[in-house]
Amino acid sequence: MSFLADMQISLIVLCSGLGLILIGLWGILTQRNIIRMIVGFSLLDTGIHMVMVSIGYVTGGTAPIINDAVPMAEATSRIVDPVPSALVLTAIVIGLGVTAVMLSYAVRIYRARKTLMIDECTESKW
């Protein structure tokens, strides 16, 4: 496992995130059950969030909070980029919102059609 040790930390997170995105997409594309598709979507979302966080990492940086641990004078050299962290917070909330709506769709689809299989919802076509 020495090559892992050689990898930059953020690259590991980045690659895991990208991997998670692929897994999520696999779920969306192959799982016929709508709930499972939503799980796939959550994985995809999480993967993206990991990618975002990894992008903000600065070698050797710490949390961007200016207090006793990180004095104001050293801030610029010791912290990681706060912007991706802020963005990821927003992205998480948005992902949550979308997931909630998706789940209520799932509930309603099951009510209306008595099935959760996406390939049984194909009456509109051509």
Task: Return the residues of window 12-51 that contact other proteins according to CB under 8 A.
Answer: 14-15, 18, 21-22, 25-26, 28-30, 32, 34, 37, 41, 44-45, 48, 51
Fill in the per-residue mask, 90 to 109: x = in contact with other proteins (CB under 8 A), - = not in contact: xxxxx-xxx-xxxxxxxxxx
Q: What is the DSSP letter of 118?
A: G
Shortest separation between residue 13's beta carbon and other proteins, angstroms: 10
- Please tell me the distance from the alpha carbon of residue 28 to that of residue 43, in angstroms, as a whole number: 10
Q: Which of 5, 35, 62, 89 binds other proteins (CB under 8 A)?
A: 89
Residue 47: count other Cβ atoms within 10 Å of its Cβ.
Answer: 20
122's CB contacts (< 8 A; 6+ apart) are: none
Backbone angles phi, psi at 65, to 5 degrees: -125, 125
Shortest separation between residue 3's beta carbon and other proteins, angstroms: 13
Strand partners, 79: 62
Q: Interface residues for other proteins in 59-88 (CB under 8 A)?
A: 59, 63-67, 72, 75-77, 79, 81-87
Residue closer to other proteins by CB (options 1, 60) is 60
117 three-class SS: strand
Size of the site for other proteins (CB under 8 A): 74
